Structure 1
Amino acid sequence: MRARIVLVATLGLILFVVGCGDGQPAERGSGAPTPSAPAQPSAQPDATPSPARTSRPRPRLRPAPTALPAGLERATGVRTVALTFDDGPDPTWTPKVLDQLRAGRVKATFCLVGTEVRKHPELVRRIVREGHQLCNHSWRHDFDLGRRPVAEIRADLTRTTQAIRAAVPGAKVPFYRQPGGRWTPEVVAVAKQLGMRSLHWSVDPRDWAKPTVPVLRERVVSGVRPGGIVLMHDGGGDRSRTLAACPHLIADLNRRFGIAPPR
């Protein structure tokens, strides 16, 4: 009798295991997990990549050079000095600089940013009409342009010159100036291929840092030598101090050396 009871109990245990061992939830279709198998977050990656993952990365920049490359023009080659104005044309400051140059009867070089040319073509026309010289200063004032791929440098400089010539058909653009003076052999070579000489400077009064007017004047007057190229700005910010210094500088430099664009 005991053997029969044990056998029946064993068969009952086997049937219980077979009936409950398939791992299915107790209530089908409810979406609730079984108590013994809690839901786990999916370990699979998102099947739809984000735009940041699919965007093409910019090429790595070349290392910055440790010295200025060859081929830069850092003097006029004659006794006269050159005044150069960067980062315009600006609707507030460029007309006032032009007024002062006209009052002093001297000509300057304007290094133009392409995005500003596109916004203010009438100022480019006035610069040319009043006999000043033009210089390509890149499309958007990219400090690192010289370290980018050569094709990108060429496209940038070409686009800027095209914008200048859209404002003034047939305009001469004999010079290129690299923003921040961060020259590389590659940007010098591309500028030359496009018919432009690389225009650097010999005197930088750092007018962009907004020194006082007496300090700005002293930096130019004490730093300039015959044939010097003076860097100043008519765009890119508040140029009221540059404007205030210009009448004295124009008179002094013109008296001592004469002022004319580099040729």
Structure 2
Amino acid sequence: MSSKNRVRYIATAAVATAAMAMGVAGCATSAATATSTGQTGPHHASTVPMHPSVPAGSVAPSPTSPPARIPAAGTPTASAAAKGAVPAKGAIPSSFTKVSEGGPHTVNITIDDGPSPVWTPKILSVLAQNHAKATFCMIGKNAAKYPDLVKDVVKAGNRLCDHSLNHDMTMSRKSASYQSQEILEGQAFIDKAAGGTAKAQYYRAPGGAFTPTSRQIAAAHGMRPLGWDIDPKDWSRPGTESIINTVKHELSNGPIILFHDGGGIRSQTVSALQHLLPWLKQHGYGVSFPSQAG
């Protein structure tokens, strides 16, 4: 090889080596970025319970489930997704609400799985006695069955939340069209039962089975995704004292407290609220609603 060709060969090899080094560095940087954002696979961190924006008890999509179908361009869901992280002015964000309308020293009472002809009136009575309001997360079919109870909830100054049509806790592992049906038919049943006096302002997935798709669908139809910060597991009937103590000890978690008026015997929930509402007032806490905008 001539000296001129040898120099040309060495220069070419040096360029190739530098390019390879840059490629490896780029891969390492990409891997580090993916790890820091949680986007290391087909399911991003926003769909798993450990993510701070997902409520405790949420159900992550199964890794074996098919990917959700992407809505066609021009549909409300597609339009909401296209907006990205910053919603248009006046639009409902698809992120979980974490702010209480009443300010930092207020709590948000949320009541799930009703309405119930036995327990909803009892909880309404306790709320009225303590001049408190709550957000009732209703199952669509229950709302259709007991429309007068829905109207009673609204008449007392409480708010409505869509808790899906059938309370299917596996819906996060099902298609986008199925999730949309559960959310929007549940909303329609609740709004109809309210008789035009109010509409569902929030959406809470059954069992916390949220997905990015379900949150976008809800937000595109005027409902803020609603998680929770405190779960005393009253649905499992752990005892009134256990419910009370969990709420007291976890107030620093955030404002949104999860209770139930449907799905079983809720006498412990009623008793716990009878104690907690006066106690909260005595300790300087107000009761407000979750923010739709914050």
Structure 1: state its 5+ residue gaps.
1-61
Q: How far apart, in 1, do the equivalents of 2:141 and 2:252 lie?
A: 33
The residue aligned with 1:74 is 98
Post-superposition offset of 1:101: 0.2
Say yes or no: does 1:214 pair with 2:196: no
Counterpart secondary structure, 2:252: coil
**Which position in structure 2 is the counterpart of 1:174?**
201
Residue aligning to 1:150:
176
2:268 partner SS: helix
- Look up the match of 1:184: 211
Supply the distance in 1 between the matched residues of 2:240 and 2:176 (Cα, whole angstroms).
40
Q: Which has the larger radius of gyration?
A: 1
**How far is 1:227 from its partner?**
5.1
1:259 corresponds to 2:287: yes
User: Once structures 1 and 2 are overlaid, which stretch shifts more, 80-89 or 177-186?
Assistant: 177-186
2:125 maps to a residue whose letter is: D
1:163 aligns with 2:189: yes
Query: Residues 9-88 of structure 1: matches in 2 within 5 Å?
Result: 65-67=47-49, 68=51, 71-76=95-100, 78-79=103-104, 80-88=106-114
Q: 2:253 & 2:281 partners in 1: Cα distance?
A: 11
RMSD in angstroms over aligned alpha carbons? 2.0
Shift of 1:206: 0.6
For 2:83, the equivalent position in structure 1 comes to none
> Is the aligned partner of 1:205 residue 2:271?
no
- 1:174 partner SS: strand
Q: d(CA) in 1 for partners of 2:143 and 2:285? A: 31
Contact between 1:135 and 1:177, CA under 8 Å: does it hold in 2? yes
Which position in structure 2 is the counterpart of 1:49? none
**Counterpart Cα distance in 2 of 1:130 and 1:76:** 20
- After superposition, the C-alpha distances for 1:202-226 in whole angstroms (9 at most, x for unaligned) are 1000111111111110000111138
Q: TM-score, normalised by structure 2?
A: 0.65
Q: Deviations over 1:228-248 (max 9, x none)?
A: 100010111011111111111
Q: What is the CA–CA distance in structure 2 between the aligned matches of 1:97 and 1:161, rounded to whole Å?
A: 22
Q: Distance in 2 between matches of 1:190 and 1:199?
A: 13
- Looking at structure 1, the residues matched to 253 and 127 of structure 2 have their Cα atoms a distance apart, in angstroms, of 20
Q: Distance between the aligned counterparts of 2:148 and 2:243, measured in 1?
A: 30
Would you say the 8 A contact 1:88–1:112 is kept in 2?
Answer: yes
Q: For the Cα contact (< 8 Å) 1:63–1:147, is it kept in 2?
A: no
Q: Which residue of 1 aligns with 2:124?
A: 98
Deviation at residue 252 of structure 1 after TM alignment: 1.5
Partners of 2:219 and 2:209 in 1: how far apart? 16
Alignment check: 8 A CA contact 1:81 1:259 kept: yes
TM-superposed CA distance for 1:113, in Å, is 0.2
Say which is worse superposed, 100-109 or 71-80, in terms of deviation.
Answer: 71-80
C-alpha distance in 2 between matches for 1:183 and 1:228:
20
The 2-side partners of 1:123 and 1:66 are apart by: 35
Question: Which SS does the other structure have where 1:110 is aligned?
Answer: strand
Q: Cα offset for 1:66?
A: 2.9
Calculate the TM-score normalised by the size of structure 1.
Answer: 0.72
What is the CA deviation profile of residues 50-103 of structure 1, one whole-angstrom value per residue up to 9, with x for unaligned ones? xxxxxxxxxxxx979434467112342622110000000000000000000000
Equivalent residues, number:
202
Identify which of 208, 224, 241 aligns with 2:251. 224
Question: Is the contact between residue 146 and residue 186 of structure 1 (CA under 8 Å) also seen in structure 2?
Answer: no
Gaps of 5+ in 2: 1-41, 55-94
